[in-house]
Structure 1
């Protein structure tokens, strides 16, 4: 048509426009925190394709991420659609001790607040860290200390389905949707 500008798929204006749109969209997506740093992540694409968590777990993830922002606690999701909260060992337990430190207690208080309303549909696994000098029984005792603390804050003991060693370097809380029929 006369007086109208045509854009080719390969024109510089069209290509520049697409690049600007791509950068704008990338800037809107949140970046996940690196392991051991504050932050949270849901996918390698900054949440563009979602975390893979159920709506209830995603709501917990977002609430915890916001509540714990600026701390060394990592709140993210796992590849098998579980919510993961990791507290570095130095903030969770003193060396060779099993008592919950005040910093961990603050995290557990936040965690319990979000977990209790969804306790009927979710379950929790607790992974405790070993100690450089002492291992074995300390892992179970630390996990039991965390369990007891959470139960004292109203988390039903029946929803805690596992105590064991953390895969990472800190205390891990793994929340998953409860399988149907359980």
Structure 2
């Protein structure tokens, strides 16, 4: 059974190895990874629930079913990532992928004026593009988080981070994204991504992030 499961896993991963259009590198898609994990889990379940004489058939059946389930989420998030990268190219918004989660990092210098929580009007088209993708891909939860640098008092930064996250949340809702999918939170300066000792670092820390998580 072990040899058969390993062979199935290798086949799934090899079949889904592609060329990353953004880096030019060969990689295994997240869909393939999910399918591989599902195939192994399905094979184990199939073996455990089959009689000794039908074990090979049970392994194959379980692996196929598991691969379909495990790969489905990855394919969905792959397609959503592709749509976001295409529509946000050149906007200044970073698109990152970790497992089946997608993260959008929106720098403060393109989203808000200094010490303000109302979205800059020239950023509306970018958020419109985000909203269009989110409205199309409905099977994701959305966490909107606001972050600041450490300049100013803690209370001020906490309130500012919350208000900025809420502004983005409300804008997306106004563009047709279901309110039940979105949660907003402010983190003040608790999670810097750069040093607050430099102007460029403080600028990087002033940001709003969207984390998209599949609803499985």
Q: Which residue of 2 aligns with 1:174?
A: 211
**1:156–1:95 Cα change, 3 Å:** same
Consecutive unaligned residues of structure 1, counting only runs of 5 or more, are 1-24, 33-44
- TM-score computed with the length of structure 1 as normaliser: 0.66
**1:122–1:91 Cα change, 3 Å:** same
- TM-score computed with the length of structure 2 as normaliser: 0.57
Q: Which residue of 2 aligns with 1:59?
A: 79
Q: Which residue of 1 aligns with 2:65?
A: none
Q: Which residue of 2 aligns with 1:48?
A: 27
How many residues in Structure 1 have an aligned counterpart in Structure 2? 140
Shift of 1:68: 1.7
Provide the rounded CA distance (Å) in 1 between the counterparts of 2:26 and 2:127. 25
Q: Of residues 96, 99, 104 in structure 1, which corresponds to 2:123?
A: 104
Contact 1:87/1:104, CA 8 A, preserved across alignment: no
Provide the rounded CA distance (Å) in 2 between the counterparts of 1:67 and 1:47. 23
Contact 2:140/2:215, CA 8 A, preserved across alignment: yes
Provide the rounded CA distance (Å) in 1 between the counterparts of 2:25 and 2:187. 29
| SS of 1:151 mapped into structure 2 | helix
Higher helix share: 2
Shift of 1:72: 1.8
Provide the rounded CA distance (Å) in 2 between the counterparts of 1:125 and 1:102. 22
Provide the rounded CA distance (Å) in 1 between the counterparts of 2:83 and 2:22. 17
Moved more, 57-66 or 166-175: 166-175
